[in-house]
Amino acid sequence: MNTKRITVFVLSGFLGSGKTTLLTQAIDHFGEMGRKTAVIMNEIGEVNLDGQLVDASVPMAELLGGCICCSSRGDLAATLHELVLSEKPDMIFIESTGVANPMEILDEITDASLILPVELKAVITVVDAPQLLELSRTSRGKTYRLMQDQIRCANLLLLNKTDLLPPSELTEVDEVVREWNEHAKLEYTVFSRVDMRLLELFEEDNEAVLHAAHTHMTDKGHEHVCTSNCDHHDHDHEHMHSEGHVQAASGHHHHTHDHVMAYTHFFEHPVNSHSFEAFVSKLPQNVYRAKGVLTFSDTPSRFMFQYAYREMDFVKITPKAEVPNVAVFIGEQFSKDAVRSALLELEREEQSL
């Protein structure tokens, strides 16, 4: 019987931390090695804009308009099933939404691995270093706790956007991360650039890299790789460590994203690029992520725009397929109406010229 299993990597990390930036590099790397990669992309908004950044030849399944870790629970296993049967890839990267709790995703993948030839090799969490630093100094909110869960469940941690922090602050944020997960391999990165051989080591279950990982026995009796810090997250599973002892089960807790909301705006008319930039720069603080594909009235090409933790970026693109002019705004308890009205006003302004 052929026992070769399809490698699965989960890419975790808060909104805008650099997951897609990592994904495209990983796909290039493994593609050059002749490996067939496939992607499952989960977006909380109604459109998959990140998919535009991934090579068109890479099979991609999309889970849109919700978060795999809860609202679309069950969909991930079904999508994995379909992808495995139709594409027969060597490896699958699952990019979760920035608000996903990896524990719930791990459960679903390991459930799926009972019936499918897939094997979770690592959870890679990308951390927005400046954002974590600020939250660690100022807040103890839900975002902060979610980042904590994402960091705790990682086997590989990328402390990303280090170009935006001076060394002293980097040390401070390093301490925060280490306090939450002292076992994972930690790499400092700029634009998520990491030596991809590290991922190969995880794939080979290299002991030196995985020294800290323990076997995580779920109540259904199957295993997945999980760092020992995961047990801080409430779960009603037994945790069997590699040393063989079983930890007491704790109460179950399913986190919700009640506080997170997304507004998707489909533009009917082009808007002025400067006015749009001014609008994005004035977004309220609780809108912490935005992205879109836009045609502007004052530029000939189309642009993909990105806004993450107050940094804005516009890149010229030629969409792979027909994509509407659209922008997604993600945040906590912000007024969708206010965003919609402001954007409609920008559209009207250009119409009336």
Q: Give me the residues that bind ligand GTP (CB under 6 A), please.
A: 13, 15-21, 50, 98, 160-161, 163-164, 190-192, 289, 306, 308, 313
Rama region for 26: left / alpha / beta (φ>0; ψ in -120 to 50; rest): alpha
- Complex with ligand GTP: residue 172 or 223, whichever CB lies closer: 172
Neighbours of 327 (CB within 10 A): 25
- Complex with ligand GTP: residue 110 or 306, whichever CB lies closer: 306
- Complex with ligand GTP: residue 161 or 257, whichever CB lies closer: 161
Min. distance of Cβ 205 from ligand GTP in angstroms? Answer: 26
- Complex with ligand GTP: residue 301 or 352, whichever CB lies closer: 301
Min. distance of Cβ 12 from ligand GTP in angstroms? Answer: 9
Min. distance of Cβ 217 from ligand GTP in angstroms? Answer: 31
Q: SS in 3 state form for the chain?
A: CCCCCEEEEEEECCCCCCHHHHHHHHHHHHHHCCCCEEEEEECCCCCCCHHHHCCCCCCEEEECCCCCCCCCCCHHHHHHHHHHHHHCCCEEEEECCCCCCHHHHHHHHHHHCCCCCEEEEEEEEEEEHHHHHHHHHHCCCHHHHHHHHHHHCCCEEEEECHHHCCHHHHHHHHHHHHHHCCCCEEEECCCCCCCCHHHHHHHCCCHHHHCCEEEEECCCCCEEEEEHHHHHCCCCCCEECCCCCEECCCCCCCCCCCCEEEEEEECCCCECHHHHHHHHHCCCCCEEEEEEEEEECCCCCEEEEEEECCEEEEEEECCCCCCCCEEEEEEECCCHHHHHHHHHHHHHHHHCC
Min. distance of Cβ 288 from ligand GTP in angstroms? Answer: 10
Min. distance of Cβ 66 from ligand GTP in angstroms? Answer: 14
Min. distance of Cβ 261 from ligand GTP in angstroms? Answer: 14
- Complex with ligand GTP: residue 2 or 318, whichever CB lies closer: 318
- Complex with ligand GTP: residue 53 or 249, whichever CB lies closer: 53
- Complex with ligand GTP: residue 45 or 217, whichever CB lies closer: 45
Dihedral angle of Cα 10, 11, 14, 17, to the nearest 10 degrees: 170
Min. distance of Cβ 313 from ligand GTP in angstroms? Answer: 4
Min. distance of Cβ 193 from ligand GTP in angstroms? Answer: 8
- Complex with ligand GTP: residue 69 or 210, whichever CB lies closer: 69
Nearest to 66 by CA among 41, 49, 84, 83: 41
- Complex with ligand GTP: residue 164 or 323, whichever CB lies closer: 164
Residue that has been written with the tokens 């920035």 in this structure: 98
Q: Are 103 and 132 in contact (CB under 8 A)?
A: no
Min. distance of Cβ 308 from ligand GTP in angstroms? Answer: 4
